[in-house]
A = this chain, B = another copy of it.
Amino acid sequence: MDASQPESATWQGQKVLITGGAGFIGSNLAIRATELGADVTIIDSLIPEYGGCLYNLETIKDKIRINLSDIRDDFSLRPLIENVDILFNLAGQTSHMDSMKDPHTDLTINCMAQLNLLETCRQFNPNIRIIFASTRQIYGKPTYLPVDENHNINPVDINGIHKYAAELYYGLYGKVHGIRTCILRLTNTIGPRMRIKDARQTFVGIWIRQLLEGQPIEVWGGEQLRDFNDVEDVVQAMLIAAQSSDCFGKIFNLGSEEKVSLLQLANMLQELNGGGDINIMTYPPERKKIDIGDYYSSFERFRTMTGWEPARSLGETLRRTLVYYSDHLSYYI
């Protein structure tokens, strides 16, 4: 088996639970896992400011079980988790600014619910395998590039603190209670089904909306380098990790060797769209305080372990994403 192409045989009939499954990455993962023959249940609370959107699951809605609930509801979680083989845990509050304005909500979702979820697994399904989606945000402002997994942890916002605390929970429940958990630290992920209503999930979302609505793209700063992963590559990484026993108990960065400045990215989108304006903006002070400058990841540890690497170029991803939102814009704004 090519490590980058998990066979359908591996997934056939596997009971898969995806929290945040109506969200950006969750829905793409649900679609792919369903194609591979998995028995998929998704949980989503559809909090309006977050990434969940039922239209994301339109093409598979009759093939999966959609359970609308909040991962903070302890009691409903138990029956949902009890018989699951693999849990992809993607539910979370992801907005950095919102975490600073309302740290309490970020705590309840990104820590308390994670802890309750792990306790539920420990008590009722200790044989579960869990892939936990973490974020590059926990590294803060890089002290060297590319950032590998040994880089210091230095979260610059409440969201980063809580995502890191959750990582530590997953590590601890692995070590002390033997729960198989693997942590993937995602970099900027883009593709169809991301939130484009605003910049809460990714600034690329709002750029695409601005472009398609004939508004100028607002680029804050512009010189910062970033790496991007196509959501399909991220989905592939998660599927691989879930089936690789070597991955459990470990932490891996995802990432890309292709890195661009924000202004270059805006220019690529402008060109693919065949036009559009770009406004370069200066950071407001409260945003500047938590800006991290250049960032890109080393994903060497994960490549060495599994053979995974990004299969889609940034240009291809942006093109596919623009086409998706041209065709489905009304469902996302």
**A interface residue numbers (CB < 8 A to B):** 100, 103-104, 107, 111-112, 115-116, 119, 153, 155-158, 161-162, 164-165, 168-169, 172, 175-176, 289-290
B111 touches A176 (CB 8 A): no
**Top 8 closest A-B pairs, CB basis?**
A165-B165, A161-B168, A103-B115, A176-B289, A161-B165, A107-B112, A107-B115, A155-B168
Minimum distance in angstroms from A99 CB to a CB of chain B: 10
| CB closest chain-B residue, reference A108 | B112
Using A176-B100, A176-B289 as known contacts, say yes or no to A161 and B153 having CB atoms under 8 A apart: no
- For A161, list chain B residues within 8 Å (CB): 165, 168-169, 172
A172 touches B157 (CB 8 A): yes
A112 touches B104 (CB 8 A): yes
Using A103-B119, A104-B116, A115-B107 as known contacts, say yes or no to A289 and B162 having CB atoms under 8 A apart: no
List the number of copies, as a whole number.
2
B155 touches A153 (CB 8 A): no
Task: Give the complex CA separation of A156 and B116 in angstroms.
Answer: 18
- For A112, list chain B residues within 8 Å (CB): 104, 107, 112
- For A103, list chain B residues within 8 Å (CB): 115, 119, 169
| CB closest chain-B residue, reference A153 | B153
Minimum distance in angstroms from A111 CB to a CB of chain B: 6
| CB closest chain-B residue, reference A112 | B107
- For A119, list chain B residues within 8 Å (CB): 103-104
| CB closest chain-B residue, reference A119 | B103
Task: Give the complex CA separation of A104 and B119 in angstroms.
Answer: 9
- For A168, list chain B residues within 8 Å (CB): 155, 161, 164
Task: Give the complex CA separation of A208 and B155 in angstroms.
Answer: 42
Q: Can you show 28 pairs from A to B with CB atoms below 8 A apart?
A: A100-B176, A103-B115, A103-B119, A103-B169, A104-B112, A104-B115, A104-B116, A104-B119, A107-B115, A111-B111, A111-B165, A112-B112, A115-B158, A153-B153, A155-B168, A155-B172, A156-B172, A157-B176, A158-B169, A158-B172, A161-B168, A161-B169, A162-B165, A164-B165, A165-B165, A175-B289, A176-B289, A176-B290
B116 touches A111 (CB 8 A): no
Q: Among the interface residues A119, A176, A289, which one has the most CB atoms of the partner chain B within 10 A?
A: A176
